[in-house]
Structure 1
């Protein structure tokens, strides 16, 4: 089968095609014929220097496709089921390929009205949001600041915060204001025009997807007793403690139950994944370059069937 692999860490050109044996599902797994794979910033980060010690490595975790075969003991999926999920993260996902094996705990049935490209996009990013909001204990009536609201995680965060009944303040550059507003943001802050901390104060929660000094500067806009979750930097624990808030960094984990929740939100019309660009599997290096500009809107997806 086709796969895009890395034999070493480096720039996008280290992603190379390779013919690999067909993977066989172990107990509790299924083999999926991959239709689409979502690309995330973590893909590019781990291509440059990840946790893997042996090569070749097949990156990719976010997948949508069709179940082709069942491993021993699998009874809750059938051959022909359309499924989506985040496979084995943070271990090697091996999704940049024609076929991937997936634990049944990491996948869910794809809603009929959701394309494979949309379904692949609706995995790591919104799972991150659900898990972040659980840590933030985000509730109706609270105000949350969401950084990079037009991005892969951010555009899901705005929508899911609104379904919780929260008031959303979103940071975005001016060209993306209309898009972020269409997601339901109550207030949009142009962080390029003026520092966000001069425009925002006393929020109940912050979701930081940017990192760097954005994380540390965010501490000052949270009310005492509030919460900050970052997915992009070390949590500024000392500064947070001085202000009387909690701050933590999270790493997303697979969850079939949360995928099913997301599927339900899509079916109910409360959640829509935005796919801004698609590439062929062999164009994955180009997809990585697009991610690394830091200017992508919504999600980038590989169309493996192209």
Structure 2
């Protein structure tokens, strides 16, 4: 038996429960991982708020890092051969907030030795989301890109990936987070009244692409005002406004996005292994204290990624 957080019925984090579950032995194409850190994301609670009660309970958590404790017959992981004792990370999984779990080996990768477990457990959901935003807007070297919410988890990954592409990035954030934007290669600009004028002052040649990680009316309105081609505006948050505004809204359950995000996992791990994609971790919590960790995460200002440690 192992401890695992589940949503027993539709609802947010208020319905989550820590329960005992069986860990099945791995079959062909599966491995069992003893979890050392579980990643935390707003999507963990968002995706349980609605649905058919008959589909519950739903296990919580999409990504993790740990040590392989068992390997199914004739099985390798996505990055190659695997053995008991190997350090790995996994995404996209179902039920990562747990002590031990049996997973499809195709979603498991060798963990670079340069990455701690908490960092590795928080690399791929935000990393693949950021890469998907870059894909759908076709960012090229030399483009000027406006990132709304640049100091958040997806924003920080965007800053680094865009910088590596050779794009110039202007990132919105509060003054308290200005140094975060600058640290990862962006030019900081404060959000709030007058944002459009401030960006125009910074981007004398115009803005080619806008990527929205916030979903506010300000983010959408300023993007529409600054970017001539609406096909080069994308959001992961303003789903209500996107259709009427003619901009692209992406999510991990969309078939094209899901396939792309799976395809880019290995490349992002390689970038992180070389130190070119950093995952700032603000805090860690014991697995049993997931409610307190969620409260910090859902405050909107955790100061970096959060990990649960079984």
What's the TM-score, normalizing by structure 1?
Answer: 0.88
Out of 287, 297, 306, the residue aligned to residue 300 of structure 1 is: 306
Report the secondary structure of 1:184's partner residue.
coil
Shift of 1:195: 4.2
Q: Distance in 1 between matches of 2:96 and 2:156?
A: 23
Larger RCO, structures 1/2 (Cα 8 Å, 6+ apart) = 1
For the aligned residues, what is the CA RMSD?
A: 2.1
Q: Is the 8 A contact 1:109 1:260 kept in 2?
A: no
Deviation string for 1:2-29 (max 9, x for gaps)? 1122222335332222111113334322
Deviation string for 1:34-57 (max 9, x for gaps)? 111111011121243357743322
Q: Is the 8 A contact 1:34 1:65 kept in 2?
A: yes
Q: Distance in 2 between matches of 1:200 and 1:237?
A: 25
Q: Distance in 2 between matches of 1:51 and 1:146?
A: 35
Shift of 1:261: 1.2
Report the secondary structure of 1:253's partner residue.
helix
> Does 2:200 align with 1:196?
no
Residue range with higher mean Cα deviation, 33-42 or 126-135: 126-135
Equivalent position of 1:78 in the other structure: 83
Q: Distance in 2 between matches of 1:130 and 1:146?
A: 13
Q: Distance in 1 between matches of 2:16 and 2:54?
A: 17
Q: Is the 8 A contact 2:10 2:53 kept in 1?
A: no
Equivalent position of 2:211 in the other structure: 207
Q: Is the 8 A contact 1:145 1:205 kept in 2?
A: yes
Equivalent position of 2:154 in the other structure: 153
Q: Distance in 1 between matches of 2:307 and 2:137?
A: 29
Structure 2 residues without counterparts, runs of 5 or longer: 201-205
> Does 2:269 align with 1:267?
no
Q: Distance in 2 between matches of 1:299 and 1:51?
A: 30
Q: Distance in 1 between matches of 2:218 and 2:83?
A: 46
Q: Is the 8 A contact 1:87 1:103 kept in 2?
A: no
Q: Distance in 2 between matches of 1:249 and 1:128?
A: 9
Shift in CA distance, 52/100, structure 1 to aligned 2, threshold 3 Å: farther
Q: Is the 8 A contact 1:230 1:250 kept in 2?
A: no
Which residues of 2 match residues 4-15 of structure 1 at below 5 A?
4-15=5-16
Equivalent position of 2:56 in the other structure: 55
Q: Distance in 1 between matches of 2:271 and 2:297?
A: 26
Equivalent position of 2:203 in the other structure: none
Shift of 1:105: 2.3
Deviation string for 1:119-170 (max 9, x for gaps)? 0011100111112212221111001111111111111110111000000000
Shift of 1:226: 5.4
Equivalent position of 2:101 in the other structure: 100
What's the TM-score, normalizing by structure 2?
Answer: 0.87
Q: Is the 8 A contact 2:7 2:56 kept in 1?
A: yes
Q: Distance in 2 between matches of 1:294 and 1:195?
A: 23
Deviation string for 1:151-205 (max 9, x for gaps)? 11111110111000000000100101112211111x211113x343332353111
Equivalent position of 1:114 in the other structure: 115
Q: Distance in 2 between matches of 1:123 and 1:52?
A: 29
